[in-house]
Amino acid sequence: MSRPKPLSGFPEFLPAGRIVEQRVLDMLRETFELHGFASIETRAVETMESLTRKGDITKEVYVVRRLHAAEGETGDDLGLHFDLTVPFARYVLENSGHLAFPFRRYQIQKVWRGERPQEGRYREFVQADIDIVGEASLAKHHDVEVVLVMLEALERLHTELGLPPVTIHVNNRLLAEGFYRGLGVDDHLAVLQRVDKLDKIGADAVGRLLTTELGLSDDAAAKCLALARITAADDSFVAAVRAIGVEHPLLDEGLDALAEVVRAAATVAPGRVVADLKIARGLDYYTGTVYETSLQGYENLGSICSGGRYDSLATDGRTTFPGVGISVGVTRILGVLIGKGRLTASRSVPTCVLVAVDNEESRPASLAIAARLRARGISTEVAPKADKFGRQIRYADRRGIPFVWFADGSVKDIRSGEQAQADPATWTPPAVDLRPTVSYQA
């Protein structure tokens, strides 16, 4: 077997990169659990029927078949899930009798898409989702809640690991719908569809589409564009919208809901959440609040964290389950930051101490020291070979292990060269050295 090559679109980390990923996932999990979200994991496969229900994404599905499937064995036509929402909706329906609603879950798993790989776009990647789903109804304050929980999680990555800060862009579909209806437009989705192209084709082109394709007056088209241009990190956007002079009850409802999100977010992390009235996030799915997120300095990655309110996450014909959720593309962020060497771990192993071995006969003594350190929560290895001490120190150095423990009862910080007598029953490394640290260099 010659040296295999990486598969494009299927990123794998070296051990130090994996330590970074683990730290990030641990922090996400910790934050989600602090807020009472329960973990679930769903199987990697769903039926093709359930994966292809939303037509748009079918081209990206990976189909899964047994190599030696029996002739005519077609009952279970399966594909790998391309997100965590379709599996979650299925899980909720399948287990609704055993779940307590509103049901708060987080889910951190790989998903697969047969897309053309490019920076920040992978064929296999990790997503971390939180959703709250109700039975028949779900209070609106959960729209505020999920974005604040996710913001808290992303803010920890910023303050504790040094990742760039995020900006979460929020809009509300009722606001746009009400505004368009207030302008006398019935087919509000058609307007939204065209306004959604603003970043791609520019305001002039969108204005032309609105007047020529949809027959809006120049004035109405201008107002739609004015609405889309409004953005604010506080509730001043409400006055800006009012100033355009359009009125509709749905517009009021949307403005209230969006103002609530922005005001609440400002108290948690000022400036991080902005009302951005051009955000649409697809057309058929979301029905209220929508979220999109940019990572400062990496805006070219697109949205790293998106979601929104859907009035029908799932339905079994009798009961409808509305939900609100938000999903962070962990690999989209880490693939780039780790790949560029911006986000690094201080070592490639969990090990804090290497216990040296004088000679193979005294290995049991070294093992005993290691066991005493581990019993106190200190990750410890024993040198694989009774080599010259220089080589044993090099073993530690290559891996970034900070301390070497010698048979004479001394422990050496191999970075500073400092060496002192120590007792494995009481010696404690500096807190910063106990585990690998993760840090970001701009």
Residues 313-342 that bind its own copies (CB under 8 A): 314-317
Q: Determine the size of the site formed for its own copies (CB under 8 A).
A: 89
CB nearer to its own copies: give 317 or 417: 317
- The CA-based angle 191-259-251, given to 5 degrees, is 35
CB nearer to its own copies: give 35 or 188: 35
Phi-psi region of 245 (alpha: psi -120 to 50; beta: other; left: phi over 0): left
Distance CA 217, CA 221 (A): 6
**Cβ within 8 Å of residue 234, ≥6 positions away:** 262, 263, 266
User: Terminus-to-terminus CA distance in the chain, angstroms?
Assistant: 39
Pick out residues in 92-121 that bind its own copies (CB under 8 A).
93-96, 98-100, 102, 104-105, 110, 112, 114
Task: Check binding of 391 to its own copies (CB under 8 A).
Answer: no
Least gap, CB of 320 to its own copies (angstroms): 11
Do 372 and 425 form a contact (C-beta atoms < 8 A)? Answer: yes
Task: Check binding of 44 to its own copies (CB under 8 A).
Answer: yes
Do 43 and 141 form a contact (C-beta atoms < 8 A)? Answer: no
Do 60 and 113 form a contact (C-beta atoms < 8 A)? Answer: yes
Task: Check binding of 395 to its own copies (CB under 8 A).
Answer: yes
CB nearer to its own copies: give 107 or 171: 107
Q: Which residue has the tokens 């037509």?
A: 55
Distance CA 360, CA 166 (A): 53
Task: Check binding of 214 to its own copies (CB under 8 A).
Answer: no
CB nearer to its own copies: give 141 or 229: 141
Among 80, 84, 273, 333, binds its own copies (CB under 8 A): 80
Pick out residues in 349-388 that bind its own copies (CB under 8 A).
349-351, 360, 363, 374, 377-381, 384-385
Least gap, CB of 9 to its own copies (angstroms): 9
Among 56, 59, 202, 283, binds its own copies (CB under 8 A): 59
Task: Check binding of 309 to its own copies (CB under 8 A).
Answer: no
Among 167, 193, 211, 348, binds its own copies (CB under 8 A): 348
Least gap, CB of 382 to its own copies (angstroms): 8
Continuous H helices in 162-216? 173-182, 188-195, 198-201, 203-212
Distance CA 262, CA 260 (A): 6
CB nearer to its own copies: give 32 or 286: 32
Nearest Cα residue to 16 out of 395, 343, 328: 343
Sign of the torsion angle spanned by Cα atoms 316, 319, 322, 326: negative
CB nearer to its own copies: give 25 or 189: 25
Distance CA 73, CA 50 (A): 19
CB nearer to its own copies: give 95 or 159: 95
Distance CA 147, CA 142 (A): 9
CB nearer to its own copies: give 102 or 329: 102
Instruction: Choose one: 46-54, 176-184, 206-214, 276-284; the region binding its own copies (CB under 8 A).
Output: 46-54
Task: Check binding of 285 to its own copies (CB under 8 A).
Answer: no
Pairing of strands 353-355, 403-405: parallel
CB nearer to its own copies: give 164 or 400: 400
Pick out residues in 216-275 that bind its own copies (CB under 8 A).
none
Phi and psi, residue 374, nearest 5°: -60, -35
Distance CA 160, CA 438 (A): 9
Task: Check binding of 124 to its own copies (CB under 8 A).
Answer: yes
Instruction: Choose one: 90-98, 163-171, 215-223, 301-309; the region binding its own copies (CB under 8 A).
Output: 90-98
CA separation, residue 36 to residues 39, 103, 137 (Å): 10, 10, 20
Binding mask 130-169 for its own copies (x = CB under 8 A): ---------x-xx---------------------------
Instruction: Choose one: 43-51, 184-192, 195-203, 229-237; the region binding its own copies (CB under 8 A).
Output: 43-51
CB nearer to its own copies: give 148 or 279: 148
CB nearer to its own copies: give 95 or 441: 95
Nearest Cα residue to 92 out of 52, 124, 129, 142: 129
Do 392 and 403 form a contact (C-beta atoms < 8 A)? Answer: no
Task: Check binding of 18 to its own copies (CB under 8 A).
Answer: yes
